[in-house]
Structure 1
Amino acid sequence: MPSEIQRLVDELVTEMKSGSAPAYRAAMKRLADTARAGGPESLTAAVDALAPLLPGLGGDFAMTAVLAGACVEWGASPMALADVLPRRASEAMMLNESVPEFWGKAAPGRPLPEPVSASTGRLVGTLTGATRWRRGVDKNTMTRIALSWFDMEHWLKALITVMGDAGFRAAVPGDVKAELREHAAAVAHRSQPAAWVGALAAVLDDEPLEVIDPRTQRGYALTMSGVGDNGQLHILLADRLVGDPGQGLVAGDRPARSWVEAATGGNPRLGPADPAIRCFRLFDGQGAYVSPEGVPADIGLLDGTRVLVLHPPNGHYALQVGRVFEDMMPNLRLDRILEPAETERRIARLAPAVENDLMAD
């Protein structure tokens, strides 16, 4: 079956070179149907064969990346994409950011075309045809910039699919993740998928976390992986830490099972009828409020470790979504309860909570 997959990928390349959109789409469907029928081996073979093609693709042909992502959803290994897809998605966001500036110089006063295929020719022609303001940008680069207006979200859709895999995230270099966050932040105001990619690029894996409860003078050492946002972290912390004070845990009401399931492997949407109510407010070791809307990577470091300080809740802060990324499985492990001397030393280093944030209720 893998040899048949390679033949169909070669056929797909031929149709891309022909420039025929209908023939390209038909070749994509033949490849998808055959790979899916062949199971994980054929799906992985398809991803392996498609990965080297991705850096050179743009425009409608970026749908090839979406097909590779779909193969991963159906059971393929994503690892062949680790060296190419994050970089190509980062580039697409970087180029996309510059499109309004270039368009404004090439077609002052005219609205940007909608990012749909029917507008591709007009945008590409306008940007590549205006030579007087291009500042040395060659025609091929300008074409790639123009195409990013239409293909960026294809790259992002594929990347969102594979970044849920812990092994894939581990294979993406830290500098590439930093670039993804930077470029995603620049275009997130007009692209929700970019905002999601930025959050996924910030996900921490095998990250040490210390939690201090000043009321009981107790501390906890944990390790977290695959936690998408701080709302999910709130639920998981309550599940791991709230329990019998006689066993060294935090006194309080245990989170409902439905909340924990929503934060882990169940339906992530709780809805208004059964929202998760947070058990405490969180501040970091430097005294900054840790908002449920943020991500764990934003928790400040204290002596090289992310530290959370538990404070009693004010009112009922409701969370209607248990996890942002449905296919990313989190892990928050309570490794040990800190020795009293360790906790005392940590508490002595904590900055006072800065409770001037109106949302810290």
Structure 2
Amino acid sequence: FAGARDAFERAADFCASWKEAGRGGLPSHEGEGLEDADFERFGFEPVMAWQSLPQFEMACVAVLNSPAVRRTAPGRAGLRDAVARAAELSGEPFQYLVYALAVLDEEPFVAIDRATGAGFALRASGIGDNFQLHTLLADALIGGGHLPGTAPSPEAAAMCRDLPGQTPTTGSFNLVGADGEWIWNEGNPADVPVVDGVRLLVLDPPPYERGWAAGRFFPGMTGDLVLERVLNAEESRALLAQVAQPGR
């Protein structure tokens, strides 16, 4: 992580210098668009840092598949900041690394079904994106008999945990944050706003039918969403009272 942070910081400096020099679009990481003089003009190490970013991204994502690394390895916050700056200056999202650095473990969630007022306390670990979160949420709440609706297949839920592969599934909810904004399936669980120390999701009916390939965003990362308890009516009402109406 320290080496990756250094590479992303140097690469961000290279991107800034390249733009200041008026060179137009950035060169490819393979070197297309670079001139021999650029190594002297911008510095050998910043140029090589820019070229090394795909390898650093793959290496970091690989080790972040391990829960022990995610929970104990230092340097994640500094690396996250360096990646964000490089992404801003380059226009490249570095999505796999950004999402891997955002993965939550043993994270408390509360889901409240707006129609019935039923609330549920859950705990999430190793979930890479909200397609995976959505599928596991429907499995726990609809598949577990707590809410009406059509649950994802057992195979779809298993593929979101640890079974290899992907299989078609259909969305069961519209996920909404406490601020009233939709929680998009394309995002990740860290997008869900925190209320009273937990990430609070409101479940609305889906505004349209949407399907996707259920599975893990990171095939080497085991994911899980565990239902810990059903909230009592008073708890659910108190949390739902803090939720804004959907803004989109």
Q: TM-score, normalised by structure 2?
A: 0.88
State whether structure 2 residue 41 is matched by structure 1 residue 126: yes
Instruction: Please show how residues 64-213 of structure 1 align to structure 2 within 5 Å.
Output: 86-104=1-19, 109=23, 113-116=27-30, 122-127=37-42, 142-173=43-74, 175-176=77-78, 178-180=80-82, 182-183=84-85, 185-186=87-88, 189-190=91-92, 194-213=94-113
Q: Is the 8 A contact 1:115 1:149 kept in 2?
A: yes
Q: Is the 8 A contact 1:211 1:310 kept in 2?
A: yes
Change (3 A) 1:227 1:109: closer
Q: Is the 8 A contact 1:120 1:150 kept in 2?
A: no
Give the share of equivalent positions with the same residue, in percent: 28
Q: Deviations over 1:200-229 (max 9, x none)?
A: 111111110001012222110011111101
Q: What count of residue pairs does the alignment treat as equivalent?
A: 246
Q: Is 174-183 or 95-104 further displaced after alignment?
A: 174-183
| Equivalent in the alignment of 2:161 | 264
Change (3 A) 1:333 1:126: same
Q: Is the 8 A contact 1:115 1:150 kept in 2?
A: yes
Change (3 A) 1:332 1:124: same
State whether structure 2 residue 155 is matched by structure 1 residue 255: no
| Equivalent in the alignment of 1:337 | 230
More strand by share: 2
Higher RCO, 1 vs 2 (CA within 8 Å, ≥6 residues apart): 2
Letter in structure 2 aligned against 1:87: A
State whether structure 2 residue 170 is matched by structure 1 residue 277: yes
State whether structure 2 residue 186 is matched by structure 1 residue 289: no
State whether structure 2 residue 217 is matched by structure 1 residue 324: yes
Letter in structure 1 aligned against 2:77: D
Once the 2 structures are TM-superposed, how far is the Cα of residue 102 of structure 1 from its aligned partner?
2.2
Structure 2 runs not aligned, ≥5 long: none
Once the 2 structures are TM-superposed, how far is the Cα of residue 283 of structure 1 from its aligned partner?
0.4
Q: Is the 8 A contact 1:200 1:228 kept in 2?
A: yes
Determine which of 233, 238, 243 is the counterpart of 1:350: 243
Once the 2 structures are TM-superposed, how far is the Cα of residue 87 of structure 1 from its aligned partner?
2.4
Structure 1: how far apart are the matches of 2:39 and 2:144? Answer: 65
Q: Is the 8 A contact 1:90 1:183 kept in 2?
A: no
Once the 2 structures are TM-superposed, how far is the Cα of residue 176 of structure 1 from its aligned partner?
2.7
| Greater Rg over alpha carbons, structure | 1
Letter in structure 1 aligned against 2:38: L
Once the 2 structures are TM-superposed, how far is the Cα of residue 154 of structure 1 from its aligned partner?
1.7
Q: Is 284-293 or 108-117 further displaced after alignment?
A: 108-117
Once the 2 structures are TM-superposed, how far is the Cα of residue 98 of structure 1 from its aligned partner?
2.7
Structure 1: how far apart are the matches of 2:87 and 2:14? Answer: 16
Structure 2: how far apart are the matches of 1:179 and 1:262? Answer: 31
Q: Deviations over 1:102-144 (max 9, x none)?
A: 23556x55875543369685532332xxxxxxxxxxxxxx332
Structure 1: how far apart are the matches of 2:86 and 2:29? Answer: 17
Once the 2 structures are TM-superposed, how far is the Cα of residue 327 of structure 1 from its aligned partner?
0.4
Once the 2 structures are TM-superposed, how far is the Cα of residue 348 of structure 1 from its aligned partner?
2.0
Letter in structure 1 aligned against 2:92: R
Structure 2: how far apart are the matches of 1:340 and 1:278? Answer: 26
Once the 2 structures are TM-superposed, how far is the Cα of residue 180 of structure 1 from its aligned partner?
4.9
Structure 2: how far apart are the matches of 1:321 and 1:93? Answer: 32
Structure 1: how far apart are the matches of 2:232 and 2:23? Answer: 67
Q: Deviations over 1:134-163 (max 9, x none)?
A: xxxxxxxx3321211221222211111101
Structure 2: how far apart are the matches of 1:175 and 1:162? Answer: 15
Q: Is the 8 A contact 1:178 1:201 kept in 2?
A: yes
